């Protein structure tokens, strides 16, 4: 017995010495070295609004989209949605191998797989704070349905929050990272990330607003990951492996993301979702006579000077050409790219009348404007995109920065300049544009210079 005890104690000492010498990876990342720990990540429970309750007008769109999901649940698209209830780095590798045209695996593409795995597990933590904060009941539970997702367990769905969608957060974050790595395939990659979120509506595991919030959380965490040197090193290694594997040459494609290929068609008056847009517009009108209405009117100005002034406060430093020339140049370049992308999508998509024009009302924030399309919201693409790029610069201020960027987009509903679904489309495209810009060497150089300038200014 004494011999056995001595052996046990000796083994325990060896084990303790091993663990002391070799720290373990955080358990919350399932053994994966996260780029950013959960407590340091942007918090969707802060920068996003609460999910709509069943008595809110926003819930109308959720209900309509749940009904749409039922209509395709037992089609070929529904079968794919069921399969996509599975979620892991291996599943992401399979999905995006199809988009890239070659097999991604731990053995065949170790650098790409490493980037995907660390990004996936980092993003996995991002949805947890708002999930736990709101504990929203999922539609499959609310409507007493049987789960059709292959990997969806009824008890798990019952005991975890619906808002935001964790699947969507992980899937879109992976898509944004890979679109940056492989800009030649950006539209195909981002479309698959978009559809991966859409699948969660089809199987009734999530409402549309959960999925939309997942897209936002994904773009926020990917922006924050750009502040981590490890992420940038892993991205360069994965990009080199991608060009070697694909046979392409770097910078062989310099075309901005095309929203027509990434997003669904804009909502028109024949769509049931149109009534959700109208309901949100009518509710938002009531805020015009309030302080929030005056704020919304000011937010309609997305000139460079207005953007610089607005984001100086949450960033914590004054942004102007004299005080912060590199930060000013970064915001200017980002704003111009976002504005051009939104204008191109508006010109190439079905024209959509602005809400106040469609409903025959007087303008609130600007002079009467019937010539410009409501889709997508230029102001929302600019405000959310600038918020994302400044999150890359100052991740510790992400919640304040993103709260402002989100609010400025919502202001478009209050002023009647844009429908709610136009604003959502614009924010998704803002993240897509940033993924493209982050693949450009000149932009990365400017980003590094702006980051150093910010670090100096905040001291």
Q: Could you please report the per-residue DSSP string of 193-231?
A: HHHHHHHHHHTTSS-HHHHHHHHHHHHHHHHHHTT-HHH
How far is residue 351's CA from residue 357's CA, in Å, rounded to a whole number? Answer: 13
Q: What is the DSSP letter of 185?
A: G
Active site members: 167, 200, 206, 210
This prediction's pTM: 0.93
Can you list the domains of the chain with their CATH numbers? 29-251 (1.20.144.10), 287-459 (1.20.144.10)
Q: Which two tokens stand for residue 128?
A: 């947890």
| Whole-number pLDDT of residue 253 | 65
* Amino acid 30: pLDDT: 46
d(CA 128, CA 319): 33
> Which secondary structure element, helix H or strand E, spans residue 159, and what is its range?
helix 154-159
pLDDT tens track for 322-360: 999 999 999 999 999 999 999 999 999 999 999 999 999
Cβ count near 432 (within 10 Å): 30
The 10s digit of each residue's pLDDT in 416-440 is: 999 999 999 999 999 999 999 999 9
Q: What CA–CA distance (Å, rounded) separates 167 from 278?
A: 29
Phi-psi region of 187 (alpha: psi -120 to 50; beta: other; left: phi over 0): alpha
pLDDT for the residue 381: 98
Name the token pair of 225: 């990951």
Using CA atoms, how far apart are residues 326 and 323, in angstroms rounded to an integer?
A: 9
pLDDT at 55 over 50: yes
């Amino acid at each position: 017995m004494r011999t056995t005890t001595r052996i046990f104690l000796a083994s325990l000492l060896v084990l303790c010495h091993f663990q002391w010498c070799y720290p373990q990876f955080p358990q919350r990342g399932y053994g994966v070295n996260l780029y950013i720990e959960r407590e340091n990540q942007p918090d969707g429970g802060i920068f996003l609004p609460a999910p709509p309750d069943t008595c809110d007008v926003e819930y109308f769109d959720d209900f309509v989209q749940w009904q749409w999901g039922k209509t395709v649940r037992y089609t070929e698209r529904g079968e794919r949605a069921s399969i996509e209830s599975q979620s892991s780095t291996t599943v992401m590798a399979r999905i995006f191998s199809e988009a890239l045209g070659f097999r991604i695996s731990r053995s065949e593409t170790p650098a790409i797989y490493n980037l995907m795995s660390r990004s996936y597990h980092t993003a996995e933590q991002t949805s947890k704070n708002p999930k736990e904060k709101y504990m929203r009941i999922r539609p499959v539970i609310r409507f007493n349905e049987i789960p059709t997702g292959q990997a969806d367990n009824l008890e798990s769905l019952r005991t975890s929050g619906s808002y935001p969608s964790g699947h969507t957060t992980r899937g879109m974050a992976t898509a944004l990272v890979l679109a940056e790595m492989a800009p030649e395939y950006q539209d195909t990659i981002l479309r698959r990330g978009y559809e991966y979120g859409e699948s969660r509506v089809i199987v009734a595991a999530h409402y549309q607003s959960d999925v939309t919030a997942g897209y936002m959380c994904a773009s926020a965490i990917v922006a924050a990951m750009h502040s981590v040197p490890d992420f940038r090193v892993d991205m360069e290694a994965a990009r080199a492996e991608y060009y070697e594997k694909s046979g392409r040459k770097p910078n062989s494609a310099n075309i901005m993301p095309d929203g027509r290929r990434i997003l669904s068609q804009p909502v028109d008056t024949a769509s049931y979702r149109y009534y959700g847009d109208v309901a949100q517009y009518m509710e938002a009108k009531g805020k015009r006579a309030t302080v929030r209405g005056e704020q919304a009117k000011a937010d309609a100005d997305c000139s460079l000077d207005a953007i610089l002034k607005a984001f100086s406060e949450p960033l914590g430093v004054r942004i102007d050409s004299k005080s912060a020339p590199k930060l000013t140049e970064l915001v200017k370049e980002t704003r111009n790219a976002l504005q051009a992308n939104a204008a191109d999508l508006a010109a190439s998509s079905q024209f959509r009348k602005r809400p106040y024009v469609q409903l025959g009302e007087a303008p609130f924030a600007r002079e009467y404007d019937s010539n410009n399309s409501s889709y997508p919201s230029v102001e929302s693409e600019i405000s959310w995109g600038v918020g994302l790029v400044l999150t890359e610069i100052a991740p510790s201020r992400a919640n304040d920065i993103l709260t402002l960027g989100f609010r400025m987009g919502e202001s478009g509903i209050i002023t009647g300049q844009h429908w709610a679904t136009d604003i959502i489309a614009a924010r998704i495209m803002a993240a897509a544009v940033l993924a493209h810009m982050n693949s450009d060497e000149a932009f990365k150089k400017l980003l590094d210079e702006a980051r150093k300038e910010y670090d100096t200014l905040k001291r």
